[in-house]
Amino acid sequence: MHLRPRRNRRTSAIRALVRETTLSPSDFIQPLFVHDGTEDIAIASMPGCTRWSLSGLVKEAHEVFAAGVPAVVLFPAIAESLKTPGAEEAWNPDGLVPRAIQALKEALPDLCVITDVALDPYNSDGHDGLVEKDEQGGLHILNDETVEALCLQALCHADAGADIVSPSDMMDGRVAAIRFALDQEAFEQVSILSYAAKYASAYYGPFRGALDSAPKAGDKKTYQMDPGNAREAIREVALDEAEGADMVLVKPAGPYLDIIARVRESTTLPVAAYQVSGEYLMIESSAAAGWIDGRAAALESLTGIKRAGADMIMTYYAKRASQWLKEA
């Protein structure tokens, strides 16, 4: 028998030589939660994650950057008193996110700061877009009015110093509108990372607990994608690319590896994937119960996401995974 594939697996050195997919800290984006308080608060729905104060955020960002992770993405927990049907706090220049951006860029000028552009943290209805209610109590998410608000939010973030704005709302036409608004205000160097294929997923639950941002009524199925659809993802990516996106993102990651692979084949843009809170919590919960090796499972899951075609991965494991890779 002269064909023996196992020869390429015989030693760790040989396995390293022939390995097709490798992870690096530079593959990762660290999501960071921030709130307008003086204390850092552990997130009950996401063990191991924290709602950071501004000072805690800067300290954690230093550790993330020191681990080799080049970028963070910010998610704000907004006080209920600031949430309104019009989500006006989303573009308050003195708001939480602009202050967080400024603090991070002052402390770590070389850190890439990405901001989430969506209205759900600021909207008293808990939706990514502005809500209109009919006489029967039904909800309608207003697309074009929402896009106007998203442009104001993106401009606010750009003015504060964000490197990349990342619309996650799934409204039609928002990438083109944001690109035009940024360019008109001389922010042509600010990039757009578009959530091009964001699915209406059950895996987001722990995240919504982290930000208290779940919809007060209805669901997000009229704007987030149907989990049964794959070709639609390619259409969404093509539209966002044509509208001026610099990078595109698939969310969630693990249950949608096929979508990541299809998107990778359909575009020359960099492709990101978001390993979401439910994916994270499944690994953490199983590891805490002693059923799996959490470190090995986390690294394997991240390898699978990259192998599927992701150039960058948003993951709550970013800092820890980078440290593990250095120890390996």
For residue range 151-190, list pLDDT tens digits in order: 999 999 999 999 999 999 999 999 999 999 999 999 999 9
CA dihedral 82, 207, 249, 73 (to 10 degrees): 60
Say what the pLDDT of residue 300 is. 98
CB 34 within 8 A of CB 76: yes
Alpha helices in 19-166 (DSSP H): 54-66, 96-107, 143-160
Q: Which residues participate in the annotated binding site for Mg(2+)?
A: 236
All structural domains of the chain, each given as residue ranges with its CATH number in brackets, are: 22-327 (3.20.20.70)
Residue 304's φ and ψ, nearest 5 degrees, are: -65, -40
Q: What is the CA radius of gyration of the chain?
A: 20
pTM greater than 0.75 (yes/no): yes
Q: Which residues participate in the annotated binding site?
A: 236
Instruction: Match 């096929």 to its residue by tokens.
Output: 258
Across the chain, mean pLDDT equals 95
Mean pLDDT, residues 240-253 taken together: 98
Tens of pLDDT, residues 205-229: 888 777 676 777 778 899 999 999 9
Q: What percent of the chain has pLDDT over 70?
A: 98
- Report how far apart, in Å, the C-alpha atoms of 144 and of each of 170, 173, 213 are: 12, 8, 22
CB 249 within 8 A of CB 197: yes
Q: Greater confidence, 327 or 166?
A: 166
**Range with the lowest mean pLDDT among 10-24, 34-48, 118-132, 208-222?**
208-222
As annotated, the active-site residues are 198, 251
Angle (CA) 63-65-70 rounded to 5° is 150
Q: Reply yes or no on whether the pLDDT at 266 is more than 90.
A: yes
Tens of pLDDT, residues 49-90: 999 999 999 999 999 999 999 999 999 999 999 999 999 999
Say what the pLDDT of residue 213 is. 65
Give the SS3 label for residue 290.
coil
Band the pLDDT of 1: cuts 50, 70, 90.
confident
Mean pLDDT, residues 293-322 taken together: 98
- For 261, the token pair is 């692979």
Say what the pLDDT of residue 210 is. 72
H or E stretch covering 197: strand 191-198
Give bridge partners of residue 50 from the DSSP assignment: 42
Residue 43's φ and ψ, nearest 5 degrees, are: -95, 115
Q: Which of 289, 287, 309, 290 has the alpha carbon at shortest distance from 298?
A: 287
